[in-house]
Amino acid sequence: MRERFVVEGLSGARTLKGEIAVRGAKNAVLKILPASVLFEDEVPLENVPDIEDVKRMRELLEALKEDNTVLRKDIAEKFRASIVLAGPVLARYGKVEFPFPGGCVLGERSIDLFLNGFKAMGAAVEEEDGFFRITASGGKLRGAHITFPLVSVTGTETLMMAAVLAEGETVLQNAAMEPEVGYLAQYLNDCGAHIEGAGTPTVRIMGGGLLHAAGRPFVVPADRIEAGSFVILAALAGSDVHITHCNPSWLEVPIALLRQAGVSIETTPTSIRVQSSSTPYKMVSVRTHEYPGFPTDLQAPMAVFMSQCQGEGSILETIFDGRFRYVDDLVVMGADMAVMNPHRVFIRGPKEFTRKNLESPDLRGGLAYLLAATVAKGTSSIDNAYLIDRGYEHIEERLRALGLNIQREESK
Ligand code: EPU
């Protein structure tokens, strides 16, 4: 059943108030589920968010029970993170078959870094009709020195996990430094892996045997992108919003930029309080960057914020080349934005938004539409709620608790 969100806009008023707790990170739980293949026993999980991508990953793991080495096409094609499972499966069983992974359309999202990494570890790669068959020579991966030509989060995590069961040492250079990478490695180490330097550009992994959780739970860390999304929402439409169960130290750049714009933000080690007045914000400019830079996943929500700031600014998107699909709809709502090229958008503000019937273009674009609908005058709808549900748990119930009039309905 197709669903949509219906949001009664606040016409620019900043009235939302109260507490909102951040859930476990999508991009952490989507890695620990595949990591479970590296274990001899069960991996207990805590703080798992109730989101669609987690359901897909569970289905994919469930389907793997029928055939240890084939990732089911119809499920794997639904989300990009499906490819992460290829690493642990290949490392444990010596082979894996999977389709080209689906997911948010953010421009070209190739998988060459994964395939080249598997090859460097001694595997043969065959492709037939969009289906990849990877076979480790002698049934076991070998450690390798791998330098990534560009920083990839899932690429780093996948090869790091594959290396845990490979023979000898693997060194990953130009690795992703996202907090989720270090957090995952720490847990794997607690369970018997030998990983050094995860969270820095150089990760060393000494291969060994299967891991043992021995009842030790993996507690999914707070979703920094969800926390950042709520900070932006609070800046746009809140009077006093307390965002709890999060880690502000993972959001230093977005918080610094929002403060520069004039948003009043106070942090404790586990919470963020945003208080606003009716003073207009000053325009800022954003350049997305790998962690610890400004996260690309907050780029679309930040564009909505910037449309409400005074002055001229720009966003330079350096990670993806197709992440401005939300711009046209925001312009129809009243934004003054111009896409200069696939990596740069100019924004002038402040602009009042009026209602529109929208359709989520992707997960973070969908969240940006929720923000736009919240600041707009009139009642907007956002179709294709599924795309927002992929990464935000029951968003309407949680935003309603802050005073937003938002409903979930069957699409017309
Ligand atoms: N890339 C290649 N070849 C590859 C892999 C990546 O060219 O084999 C390119 C991509 O096309 C992109 C760049 O490398 O231009 C960086 O992409 P990366 O691999 O880091 O992205 P990802 O690992 O697929 C993860 C998150 C994304 C997040 C990015 C960047 C997961 C499951 N997904 O994706 O999250 O945007 O890192 O931080 O961890 C989201 O949550 O909405 C989301 C898209």
Per the DSSP assignment, residues forming a β-bridge with 6 are 381, 407
Q: Does the beta carbon of 109 lie inside 6 Å of ligand 1?
A: yes
pLDDT bucket at 106, cuts 50 / 70 / 90: low
The overall average pLDDT reported for the chain is 96
Among 125-129, 160-164, 186-190, 369-373, the least confident range: 125-129
The mean pLDDT value for 49-72 works out to 93
Domain count, the chain: 2
Q: Is the CB of residue 112 below 6 angstroms from any atom belonging to ligand 1?
A: yes
Tell me what pLDDT residue 311 has: 98
My answer on whether 34 and 19 are in the same domain is no
Atom of ligand 1 nearest to the CA of 225: 41
Same domain flag for 377 and 236: yes
The pLDDT tens digits for 163-215 are: 999 999 999 999 999 999 999 999 999 999 999 999 999 999 999 999 999 99
What does DSSP say about strands 286-287 and 218-219: parallel, antiparallel, or unpaired? unpaired
- The domain spanning residue 379 has which CATH number? 3.65.10.10
Q: What is the pLDDT of residue 242?
A: 98
pLDDT at 104: 62
**In this structure, are 346 and 226 located in the same domain?**
yes
Classify burial at 150, counting beta carbons within 10 Å of its beta carbon; exposed 0-12, middle 13-18, buried 19 or more. Answer: exposed
Which two three-digit tokens encode residue 343? Answer: 């990596």
Are 176 and 152 in contact, with CB atoms under 8 Å apart? yes
* 247 and 318 belong to one structural domain: yes
Residue-level pLDDT at 352: 98
Q: Which of 177, 193, 219 is at the close of a domain?
A: 219
- Containing 61, the helix (H) or strand (E) segment is helix 52-64
244 and 178 within one domain = no
Residues 67 and 179 in one domain: yes
DSSP 256: H
Q: What is the reported pLDDT for 103?
A: 64
Give the pLDDT confidence score for residue 36 in this predicted structure: 98
Q: Residue with the nearest Cα to atom 14 of ligand 1?
A: 152
30 Cβ closer than 6 Å to some ligand 1 atom: yes
Report whether pLDDT(38) > 90. yes
For residues 254 and 352, membership in a common domain is answered with: yes
Distance CA 160, CA 204 (A): 8
214 and 278 share one domain: no
Report whether 226 contacts 192 (CB < 8 A). Answer: no
Q: What is the pLDDT of residue 322?
A: 83
Angle (nearest 5°) at CA 97 between 93 and 98 = 130
- For residues 50 and 141, state if they share a domain: yes
Distance of alpha carbon 309 from alpha carbon 263, whole angstroms: 11
pLDDT at residue 105 above 90? no
Determine the residue of 26, 98, 109, 220 to mutate for testing ligand 1's pocket, defined as the one with the most ligand atoms within 8 A of the Cβ atom. 109
Other Cβ atoms within 10 Å of 263 Cβ, number:
23
Encode pLDDT of 284-331 as tens digits: 999 999 999 999 999 999 999 999 999 999 999 999 988 999 999 999
* Ligand 1 near 296 CB (within 6 A): yes
Average pLDDT rounded to a whole number, residues 358-378: 97
pLDDT band at 101 (very low <50, low <70, confident <90, very high): confident
CA of 290 to the centre of ligand 1 (A): 10
Give the domain extent around 46: 27-219
Give the least confident one: 70-74, 106-110, 134-138, 249-253: 106-110
Distance separating alpha carbons of residues 255 and 43, to the nearest angstrom: 34
Asked which of 198, 219, 240 is the last residue of a domain, the reply is 219
**Could you give the percent of the chain with pLDDT greater than 70?**
98
Model pLDDT for residues 336-360, shown as the tens digit of each residue: 999 999 999 999 999 999 999 999 9
Encoded tokens for 342: 């696939």
pLDDT of residue 15: 97
pLDDT at 33: 98
Environment class of residue 138 by beta-carbon count within 10 Å: exposed (0-12), middle (13-18) or buried (19+)?
exposed
Q: Are both 244 and 350 inside the same structural domain?
A: yes
Q: What sign results for the dihedral spanned by CA atoms 362, 407, 54, 233?
A: positive
* Ligand 1 lined by 271 (C-beta under 6 Å): no
Please confirm, yes or no, whether 191 is among the known catalytic residues: no
How far is 21 from 143, CA to CA, in rounded Å? 41
What is the model's pLDDT at position 366?
97
152 and 270 share one domain = no
pTM: 0.97
User: Do residue 16 and residue 58 come from a single domain?
Assistant: no
109 CA to centre of ligand 1 in angstroms: 7
Kindly indicate the confidence band of residue 66, based on its pLDDT and cuts at 50, 70 and 90: confident
pLDDT of residue 108: 59
Residue 67 has a pLDDT of: 84
Of the residues 219, 234, 255, which one is the last residue of a structural domain? 219
Rounded mean pLDDT of 96-117? 83
pLDDT of residue 68: 84
Q: Which atom of ligand 1 is nearest to the CA of 157?
A: 23
Cα 114 to middle of ligand 1, angstroms = 12
Give pLDDT, residue 344. Answer: 98
